[in-house]
Amino acid sequence: MGLRKDAEENRQRLLQAGKEIFAERGLGATLNDVAKHAGVGVGTAYRRFANKQELFDAILDDQVDEVETILRDAIAIPDADEALRHYLEENLKLQVRDKAMAQMFAGKYASQAFLDASRDRVAPLVNDLAQKAVDVGAVPPHVVGTDLIFIQVGILAIAEITEPEYPGLYTRYAEMALAGLKAASPAHGPIDTEQTHRLMRGLKE
């Protein structure tokens, strides 16, 4: 049975308030902060979400939908170089705008169950995008999906320290990273999706 109309309205208000608060402050904001922003009582917030983690995961689930859309749109672009550019630019733009999303993709705060689920949704698409670029010769055969993930994590770290004073500076390094994908084979080989996921989960410990 679904929620009563007023209960569902409160849930949606909390989700929207959570998106706004977490996007602005990151995932360190509290459920009390969200309740105040939503204009509902703290008790109401805890009736809809048992704890802040449940609210995080509900919000982040919606945001992973956005990442999936970016990836599917990128894969549909015929030109592999433009496909890679679209994915990196749009995904970085989304995460720079939304601190909570960036923290989640850096392995922070989101529950392990959520990280597992998001991996299952996102990783196959990232791998498909990288393989498409390899297949048409846009990047060398050594490039894999996890390379795109780590490039993104690195650029987000740059954005975190530069964006307040130098908005958009991170895009310079995104351009350099895209160019670097075409470089000769690096000395160190890649790690696979499971190894990458284990590292990301470890950041949460």
DSSP code per residue over 1-54: -PPPHHHHHHHHHHHHHHHHHHHHH-TTS-HHHHHHHHT--HHHHHHH-SSHHH
Q: What is the mean pLDDT of residues 161-173?
A: 95
Ranking 19-23, 36-40, 110-114 by mean pLDDT, the lowest is 110-114
Cβ atoms within 10 Å, residue 120 = 11
Topology annotation, domain 1-50: Arc Repressor Mutant, subunit A (1.10.10)
Query: Could you give the C-alpha distances from 105 to 47, 49, 108, 201, in angstroms and in order?
Result: 28, 22, 7, 10
Q: Residue 80's pLDDT is what?
A: 97
Determine the average pLDDT of the residues in 94-99. 82
The residue among 118 and 126 whose pLDDT is bigger is 126
Residue 104: pLDDT band (50, 70, 90) is low
Q: Across 6-15, 61-70, 170-179, 194-203, which has the greatest mean pLDDT? A: 170-179
Sequence ranges of the domains in the chain:
1-50, 57-204
Q: Which two tokens stand for residue 10?
A: 């409160």
Cα gap 45→10, rounded to integer Å: 8
Q: What is the pLDDT of residue 90?
A: 96
Q: Which residue in the block uniquely carries the two structure tokens 């749109």?
A: 73
% of the chain at pLDDT higher than 70: 90
Instruction: Write out the CATH class of domain 57-204.
Output: mainly alpha
